[in-house]
Amino acid sequence: MHKEAPAGHPNTEAGKPFYRILYVQVLIGLMLGVLTGHFWPEFGAALKPFGDDFVKLVKMMIAPIVFCTIVSGINSISDSREVGRTLAKSMALFYLLTVLALLAGLMAVSLIQPGVGMHVAVNTLDPSVAAKFTKQAGATGFADFMLHIIPHSFFGAFADGEVLPVLLISVLIAFGLSRAGDGGVVVTKAVESFSQVLFVSFGFIMKLAPLGAFGAMAFTVGRYGIRSIGSLGLLILTFYIACSVFVVVVLGTLARLNGFSLWRTIRYFKEELLIVLGTSSSEPALPGALRKLERLGCRKGVSGLVLPMGYSFNLDGSAIYLTLASIFIAQACDIHLSWGQIAAMLGLMLLTSKGAAGVTGSGFVALVATLSVMPDLPVTGVALLVGIDRFMSEARALTSMISNCVASITISLWEGACDREVLARELGQGATLEVAAGTTIGGAPVVQENESWIPTTQSAA
C-alpha cells in the first residue's frame, strides 16, 4: 500500500489542487507579470521591489544554509581524503564544462553571425555604460581572485553573503569539529538542528516566490518591453540556441553516460528552475536544490560541497554569453579577430567567468572584465547589449542552474555517494537507470500513474 510521502516531498503534489502547487503558482505569477508589464508598463516597472525583495530574502538565508549543510555533511565523512578527492573531481568537471560552454557560444555566434552588417562606429558608443560595470568587475588576476575567497573576518563572510568565503569557513570548521572530540559532537548536533530550522524558515519564504516572479517579470517587460529587442532579436535567439544546444548535447550526454535522464532531472527541479526564470538569478534556487539533491539519494557531504562550488566555478550560462557577446561586438564593429586572438580570449574568459561570481549581473560584469584587458575589442561595445541584457540573463541563470544540478549528481555518482536505487525511484526511471548504470536495483516496486513513476513505499533520501 502506498504510504504518504513526507510534507514538501515532490510526490505530495499529486494530491494537491493544482493551484496550490508551487511551480503552478510561479507560472501564473510569470504570466501575470508579462501581461501587466505589457499593458501597463509604468505600473509594471514600479513592481520591481517585489522581485528584488524576494531575492534579498533568499540571499539572507543562503550563507547559513550553505554553512550548516557543508559542516554537517563533511563531518559525516569518515575519510577526510574523500573531501579533497571530491574537490579535485569537481574542479576538473567544472573547467571541462566551462570550456565546452565557451566553445558553444563561439560556434553559435560564428555560424549565425548576428552582428554582421550592423557597421557600428566605435566612437559613437557610450563609454559610461562600461565605466559603471568596470568598478564591479574589479581585479581579474588569479592572486586577487584567491584573496577574495578569504573573508575579512569570520562573520564578515556571512555579512557579505558570498558563497566562496562561506564555503572556505565551512570546510575549516567541519574539519575542526571532526577532531574536537566530545565538544565537536555537541556543536555538530546544534548545527544539524539549526539546519532543520533554516530549511523550515526557507519554506515560508518560498511561499512568496510567485509574488517575486510576478514583480520581476512585470518590471522586465514594463521597463524594456518586447519592442526593445528590435534589431538585436537575432542575437537573443542565437544565445538561446547556444544555451539549448549546450544543455541538450553536453549535459544530456554527461547525464546519459552516468545513467540518469537529463529531462527527468530538469522536471524534478522544475520549481527551482521556474523561480530562476522569474527572478533572473540562480541564487534563490540554491537551498531548495540542496534539499532535493539529498532526496535524490546524494550524500550531503558531497552534493552539499559540489553545488555551492558550482555557483562560483561552473557558471556555464555566463561562459556561453562571454564568447557570444564578445564576438558579436567584433562583428557589429567590423573588427576581424584571428584564431590566435580568439584562443587568447578564451583563455582569459576561463578566469573572468569565475572572477565575477557573486556579483549581481555577473555575466555582464564578466564581459566588461574581459573586454577591459582585451586590446582588440572596445569595452564601450557593451553599450550595444545593455538594453537587452535582462532578456538574456534568464537563459544564463537557467543554463548554469541545470549544469550545476547535473554536475552535483554526476560527482556524487563518481564518488559512490549517491544511492542509485533512490535516484531511480525519485527521477522515475526504474529499469532505465538500472540498465544504463549496469547495477542491480532491488528496491521497492513502482506503479505507473499519469505517465510518472510513483514508489509504492516512502522514499528515503
pLDDT in tens, 189-219: 888 888 888 888 888 888 888 888 888 888 8
**Could you tell me if 365 and 356 are in contact, meaning their C-beta atoms sit under 8 angstroms apart?**
yes
Measured CA angle at 85 (ends 247, 176), to 5 deg: 120
CA 103 to chain centre: 19
pLDDT band per the 50, 70, 90 thresholds, residue 117? confident
What are the residues facing 447 on neighbouring strands? 454
Instruction: Tell me the mean pLDDT in the region 44-69.
Output: 84
* Three-state SS at 448: strand
Which phi and psi angles does 428 have, rounded to 5°?
75, 35
Q: How far apart are CA 354 and CA 367, in angstroms?
A: 11
- Total domains in the chain come to 1
Which phi and psi angles does 448 have, rounded to 5°?
-95, 135
Instruction: Tell me the mean pLDDT in the region 71-91.
Output: 78
pLDDT in tens, 273-312: 988 888 877 888 888 898 899 999 998 888 888 888 888 7
Measured CA angle at 372 (ends 366, 376), to 5 deg: 115
Q: How many helical (H) and strand (E) elements, i.e. helices and strands, does the chain have?
A: 22, 2
Q: Is residue 457 part of a domain?
A: no
Q: Is residue 430 part of a domain?
A: no
**Could you tell me if 406 and 262 are in contact, meaning their C-beta atoms sit under 8 angstroms apart?**
yes
* Three-state SS at 270: helix
Q: Is residue 355 part of a domain?
A: yes
CATH number for the domain including 183? 1.10.3860.10
For residue 67, give its domain range: 10-418
Q: Is residue 428 part of a domain?
A: no
pLDDT in tens, 263-283: 999 999 998 898 888 887 788
Does position 130 have pLDDT exceeding 70, yes or no? no
**Could you tell me if 94 and 354 are in contact, meaning their C-beta atoms sit under 8 angstroms apart?**
no
Instruction: Tell me the mean pLDDT in the region 383-393.
Output: 77
What average pLDDT does the structure give for the chain?
78
Q: Is residue 438 part of a domain?
A: no
Alpha helices in 113-232 (DSSP H): 127-137, 142-149, 154-160, 163-178, 182-206, 209-224
Does position 350 have pLDDT exceeding 60, yes or no? yes
Predicted TM-score (pTM) of this structure: 0.75
pLDDT in tens, 3-35: 444 444 444 455 567 677 777 888 888 889 888
pLDDT exceeding 70 applies to what percent of the chain? 78
User: Which residue has 560552454 as its cell numbers?
Assistant: 101
Q: Is residue 447 part of a domain?
A: no
Q: How far apart are CA 75 and CA 281, in angstroms?
A: 30
The residues, ordered by sequence, that sit 6+ positions from 233 with a Cβ below 8 Å of its Cβ are: none
